[in-house]
């Protein structure tokens, strides 16, 4: 399923970024633009600017930037398609998906399944209100009606056919969503969840995609989850994320606990940033999804051996996807305690203190390694180096890699650089960060072109600046091509073209740079810049011809090539 780029252009032309942003951020008129406090980082003095003329936003504090689509993606944590669908619905226009009839049919089926699970969740919530045993159980656990409503908690009646009776026309859909189980060697079905407190698992848009159920009596299994379906994939979901984002659209930390009841109990006591894994070890895909939302994730485990083993599995899964700027920490609870019981005993302040004092990733790994060796002996230190290798080569974060090497050097009494050469694969070598450079000609041309896109006519068709030794040359060529192929665009529409590209942030930063030139001066400046680029390009061409002449002699050049050299030398003399 694909959304045509022409539709994106049309959508961005119809909506006003001011309307989109003001739904989430209070803005004040500031000259010809609007300003406010950035929703993507904490600040007291506004550094967040929205340009109505250019239809893009930029934060001078944290560098966040983009158009209306980019803003909604970042603020509401939606995918590109989800964002376009949301804006199209607000604008009252239908998206002309480029898809086959099969795709269209699949989309309709999925919508009917989402609707069905939403109705099932309402049914369970209704049954909770009239089942005394379920209500008594939740009250005994200290949960209020308000918190249960927030999380959509319900109750599945202790009957084999409650859903079949309630939704007699939806047997196929109930089977597809895993809510019914087919009897062995029979065409008959029965309810998967019976006599359980029900927790709807919702995606980021609030749609119910699955359920988790907990018994209210001493039965096994204590927890039961929906199976994998077309709507639900355990590896990509966590419980409670939708509710967290409803309360705070830009959290800085997420705490991952084990049970649904833990999430709800923590929320009731004021810890509103907790989510739960779905009955399995937290996979790399789960962690990656969380790190797309927050810079720090705290994994909460029991303090026993099983908890430590689970922590090590989670650490192993996290190493390849842990990039610089992201932090994974681990919190081990006292024996016999879980988050639910502990926060009731200690309260929010003490539980939050535990979170702040949780173990960082490198310390966890070193503790685990040191438990296996005796660093007082040469053999023990050699063994420590060998054990550390399996972790170091999985770490994608250069910062974590360096910290681990420094920690390892302290225990092995070896030089950090020597350890680096011994342990790290060539592709993981930590390279020094280059100092920032002055703006290149291509970068300057891009900035001017963004200020006045109509000036793309100054660029000759066929001029390929890719031959220049300028890292921004490719971006300049792409920008020129896009502007020549479309009607005059504003900056917001231009950024929409690069919606899934890393260059979008660079373009937004260049567009946001202040410019003291007038409209006429921008044109003259760009003309001069283009002339300099053409001159550089010609010098590259002549350099190639001169190198060819040195190698093959003048006879190796065509008459046109010799004439090109003569013209260049004549102009140089003048």
- Assigned domain for 219 exists: yes
Separation CA 574–CA 561 (nearest Å): 20
Kindly state whether residues 451 and 551 are assigned to the same domain. Answer: yes
Separation CA 80–CA 500 (nearest Å): 8
Q: What is the 3-state secondary structure (H, E, C) of 144-204?
A: CHHHHHHCCCEEECCCCCHHHHHCCCCHHHHHHCCCEEECCCCCCEEECCCCEEEEEEECC
Kindly state whether residues 445 and 568 are assigned to the same domain. Answer: yes
267 token code pair: 């929320």
Kindly state whether residues 261 and 301 are assigned to the same domain. Answer: yes
Kindly state whether residues 290 and 380 are assigned to the same domain. Answer: no
- The CATH number given to whatever domain includes residue 73 is 3.90.580.10
pLDDT at 436: 38
Separation CA 495–CA 560 (nearest Å): 42
**pLDDT averaged per 10 residues, the chain (length 574):** 75 87 88 87 87 87 85 83 85 75 73 94 96 94 94 95 94 94 86 96 92 89 90 87 89 92 95 87 78 90 81 83 84 91 94 93 88 90 89 80 86 86 55 46 87 85 66 84 77 73 76 74 85 77 64 66 60 46
Quickly count: other Cβ atoms within 10 Å of residue 129's Cβ. 12
HSE (CB half, 13 Å, CA atoms) of 200? 27
- Assigned domain for 96 exists: no
For the purposes of burial, counting CB atoms within 10 Å of the CB of 58, is it exposed (0-12), middle (13-18) or buried (19 or more)? Answer: buried
* Sequence-separated (6 or more) residues with CB below 8 Å from residue 263: 151, 239, 240, 257, 274, 275, 276
- Assigned domain for 98 exists: no
Q: Which of 68, 91, 114 corresponds to the end of one domain?
A: 91
Kindly state whether residues 446 and 567 are assigned to the same domain. Answer: yes
Separation CA 109–CA 115 (nearest Å): 10
Kindly state whether residues 250 and 225 are assigned to the same domain. Answer: no
Q: Which of 206, 232, 258 corresponds to the end of one domain?
A: 232
Kindly state whether residues 157 and 225 are assigned to the same domain. Answer: yes
DSSP, residue by residue, 353-410? HHHHTPEEHHHHHHHHHHTT--TTSHHHHHHHHHHHHHHHTT---HHHHHHHHHHHHH
Kindly state whether residues 143 and 173 are assigned to the same domain. Answer: yes
pLDDT at 198: 97
- The CATH number given to whatever domain includes residue 223 is 3.90.980.10
* Residue 33 belongs to domain spanning: 5-91
- The CATH number given to whatever domain includes residue 348 is 3.40.1360.10
Of the candidates 409, 324, 329, the residue with the CA atom closest to the CA atom of residue 362: 329
Q: Which of 179, 198, 232 corresponds to the end of one domain?
A: 232
Q: State how many domains the chain has.
A: 5
DSSP state for residue 98 in the 8-state scheme = B
* Sequence-separated (6 or more) residues with CB below 8 Å from residue 205: 78, 82, 242
pLDDT at 191: 94
* Sequence-separated (6 or more) residues with CB below 8 Å from residue 234: 225, 228, 278, 279, 280, 283
Kindly state whether residues 208 and 306 are assigned to the same domain. Answer: no
Kindly state whether residues 21 and 122 are assigned to the same domain. Answer: no
- Assigned domain for 436 exists: no
- The CATH number given to whatever domain includes residue 401 is 1.20.50.20
Kindly state whether residues 481 and 550 are assigned to the same domain. Answer: yes
Kindly state whether residues 378 and 416 are assigned to the same domain. Answer: yes
* Sequence-separated (6 or more) residues with CB below 8 Å from residue 472: 440, 442, 443, 446
Task: Determine if the pTM surpasses 0.85.
Answer: no
């Amino acid at each position: 399923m694909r959304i045509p780029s022409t539709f994106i252009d049309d959508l961005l032309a119809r909506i006003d970024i001011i309307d989109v942003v003001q739904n989430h951020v209070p803005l004040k008129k500031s000259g010809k633009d609007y300003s406010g406090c950035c929703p993507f980082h904490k600040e007291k003095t506004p550094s967040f600017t929205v340009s109505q003329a250019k239809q893009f936003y930029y934060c001078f504090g944290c560098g966040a930037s983009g158009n209306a689509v980019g803003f909604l993606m970042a603020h509401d944590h939606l995918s590109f398609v989800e964002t376009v669908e949301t804006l199209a619905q607000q604008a009252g226009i239908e998206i002309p998906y480029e898809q086959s009839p099969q795709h269209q049919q699949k989309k309709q089926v999925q919508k009917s399944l989402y609707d069905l699970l939403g109705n099932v969740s309402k049914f369970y919530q209704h049954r909770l209100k009239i089942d005394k045993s379920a209500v008594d159980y939740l009250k005994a656990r200290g949960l209020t009606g308000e918190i249960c409503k927030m999380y959509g908690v319900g109750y599945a009646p202790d009957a084999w056919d409650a859903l079949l009776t309630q939704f007699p026309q939806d047997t196929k859909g109930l089977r597809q969503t895993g809510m019914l189980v087919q009897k062995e060697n029979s065409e008959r079905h029965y309810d998967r969840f019976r006599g359980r407190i029900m927790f709807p698992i919702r995606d980021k848009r609030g749609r119910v995609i699955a359920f988790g159920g907990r018994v209210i009596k001493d039965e096994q299994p204590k927890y039961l989850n929906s199976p994998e379906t077309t709507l639900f994939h355990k590896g990509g979901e966590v419980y409670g994320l939708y509710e967290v984002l409803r309360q705070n659209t830009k959290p800085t930390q997420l705490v991952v606990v084990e049970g649904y009841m833990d999430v709800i109990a923590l929320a009731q006591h004021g810890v509103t940033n907790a989510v739960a894994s779905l009955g399995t070890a937290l996979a790399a895909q789960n962690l990656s999804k969380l790190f797309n939302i927050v810079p720090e994730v705290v994994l909460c485990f029991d303090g026993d051996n099983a908890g430590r083993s689970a922590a090590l599995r989670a650490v192993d899964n996290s190493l390849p996807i842990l990039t610089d700027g992201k932090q994974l920490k681990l919190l081990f609870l006292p024996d016999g305690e879980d988050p639910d019981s502990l926060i009731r005993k200690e309260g929010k302040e003490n539980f939050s203190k535990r979170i702040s004092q949780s173990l960082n990733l490198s310390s966890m790994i070193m503790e685990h390694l040191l438990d296996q060796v005796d660093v007082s002996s040469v053999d023990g230190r050699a063994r420590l180096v060998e054990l550390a290798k399996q972790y170091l080569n999985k770490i994608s974060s250069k910062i974590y890699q360096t910290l681990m090497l420094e920690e390892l050097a302290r225990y092995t009494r070896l030089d950090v650089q020597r350890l680096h050469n011994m342990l790290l694969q060539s592709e993981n070598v930590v390279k020094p960060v280059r100092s920032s450079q002055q703006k290149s000609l291509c970068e300057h041309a891009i900035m001017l072109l963004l200020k006045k896109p109509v000036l793309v006519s100054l660029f000759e068709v066929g001029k390929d600046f890719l031959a220049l030794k300028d890292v921004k040359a490719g971006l300049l060529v792409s920008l020129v091509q896009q502007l020549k192929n479309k009607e005059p665009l504003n900056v917001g529409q231009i950024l929409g073209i690069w919606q899934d590209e890393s260059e979008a942030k660079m373009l937004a930063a260049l567009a946001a740079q202040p410019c003291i030139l007038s409209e006429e001066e921008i044109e003259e400046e760009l003309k001069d810049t283009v002339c300099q680029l053409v001159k550089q390009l010609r010098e590259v061409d002549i350099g190639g011809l001169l190198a060819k002449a040195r190698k093959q002699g003048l006879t190796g050049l065509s008459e046109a090539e010799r004439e090109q050299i003569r013209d260049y030398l004549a102009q140089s003399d003048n």
